[in-house]
Chains A and B, each alone.
Chain A
Amino acid sequence: MASKTKKQIGKVANWILTFVLMLVIGLPGLWVVLTAFRPNREILAKPAIWIPEKLSLDNFGKIFGYGVDQIAIPVPSYFANSLIISLTSTAIALLIGMSGGYAFARFRFKRKNGYFLALMLSRTVPGIALSLPIFMVWSRLGLIDTKMGMIIIYVALNIPFTIWLIDGFFRQIPKEMSEAAQVDGCTRWQAFWKIEFPLAKSGVASAGIFAFLTSWNEYALASQLTRSTDSKTLPVGLMDFTAQFTIDWAGMSAMAVIIIVPALILTFLVQKHLIAGLTFGGVKG
Chain B
Amino acid sequence: MAEILLKDVVKNYGKLEVVHGINLFIEHNEFVVLVGPSGCGKSTTLRMIAGLEDITGGEISIGGTVVNDFAPRKRDISMVFQNYALYPHMSVRENLGFGLKIAKQPKDVIEERVNEAAVILNIEDLMDRTPAELSGGQRQRVAMGRAIVRHPQVFLFDEPLSNLDAKLRVQMRTEIKRLHQKVKTTIVYVTHDQVEAMTMADRIVVMKDGHIEQVGSPLEVFERPVDTFVASFIGSPPMNLIPGEVVMRDGRLHVAFNADQSVPVPASLADKTTEGQKVIFGFRADDLMPDGHAVPIMGEASGLRLTVDIAEPLGTETLLFCQFAGVDIQAKMYNPRMVKPGEVMDFKCALDKTHLFDAASGKSLRG
Contact = CB atoms under 8 A, between A and B. Distances in A.
Chains A and B are bound partners: yes
A199 interface: yes
Contact of A184 (B78, B89, B135): B78
Contacts, number: 88
Nearest to B80: A180
Interface stretch (A153-161, A231-239, A247-255, A274-282): A274-282
Contact of B89 (A182, A190, A199): A199
A271 B50 CA distance: 40
Contacts of B103: 185
Given A176-B83, A180-B85, A187-B73, A281 B130 contact: yes
Nearest to B102: A185
A263 to B, nearest CB: 29
Interface in B105-128: none
Which among A181, A187, A199, A283 has the highest number of chain B CB atoms within 10 Å? A283
Interface centre among A176, A180, A195, A278 (most CB of B within 10 A): A180
A219 to B, nearest CB: 39
B130 A283 contact: no
Interface string B56-100: 000000000000000111000111011111111100000000110
B52 interface: yes
B146 to A, nearest CB: 7
Contacts of B85: 174, 176-177, 179-180, 282-283
A68 interface: no
A198 interface: yes
B141 to A, nearest CB: 13
B192 interface: no
A20 interface: no
B208 interface: no
B132 A281 contact: yes
A184 B98 contact: yes
A183 interface: yes
B88 A281 contact: yes
A285 B142 CA distance: 14
Contact of B77 (A176, A183, A194, A282): A183
Given A183-B50, A285-B136, A278 B77 contact: no
A195 B87 contact: yes
B134 interface: yes
Interface string A157-192: 000000000000000001011011111111100100
Contacts of B83: 174, 176, 283-284
B131 interface: yes
B317 interface: no
Given A177-B85, A183-B73, A186-B73, A281 B133 contact: yes
B89 A283 contact: no
A177 B87 contact: yes
Contacts of A279: 88
Nearest to B47: A179
A11 to B, nearest CB: 33
A230 to B, nearest CB: 44
Contacts of B139: 284-285
A185 B72 CA distance: 7
B134 A184 contact: no
A184 B81 contact: no
A280 B52 CA distance: 24
Interface string A51-76: 00000000000000000000000000
A270 B150 CA distance: 37
Contacts of B72: 179, 182-183
Nearest to B135: A285
A10 to B, nearest CB: 34
A285 B163 contact: yes
A182 B73 contact: yes
A273 B112 CA distance: 34
A19 B86 CA distance: 44
B34 to A, nearest CB: 18
Contacts of A182: 52, 71-73
Given A183-B50, A190-B102, A282 B73 contact: no
Given A179-B52, A179-B72, A184-B78, A284 B88 contact: no
Nearest to A198: B89
Contact of A283 (B52, B77, B86, B98): B86
B132 A280 contact: yes
B128 to A, nearest CB: 14
A176 to B, nearest CB: 4
B71 A278 contact: no
A150 B150 CA distance: 52
Nearest to A282: B88
A199 B89 CA distance: 7
A278 B134 CA distance: 15
A133 B84 CA distance: 53
Contacts of A187: 71, 73
Nearest to B77: A183
Given A176-B85, A177-B87, A179-B52, 15 more contacts: A179-B81, A180-B81, A180-B85, A182-B72, A183-B52, A183-B72, A184-B73, A185-B103, A186-B102, A190-B102, A278-B88, A281-B134, A282-B84, A282-B87, A283-B84
15 contacts: A179-B79, A179-B85, A183-B52, A183-B77, A183-B78, A184-B98, A185-B150, A194-B98, A278-B88, A282-B85, A282-B86, A282-B131, A283-B83, A283-B86, A285-B136
Interface of B: 50, 52, 71-73, 77-79, 81-89, 98-99, 102-103, 130-136, 139, 146, 150, 163
- The 3 lowest CB-CB distance pairs between A and B, nearest first, are A281-B132, A282-B88, A176-B85
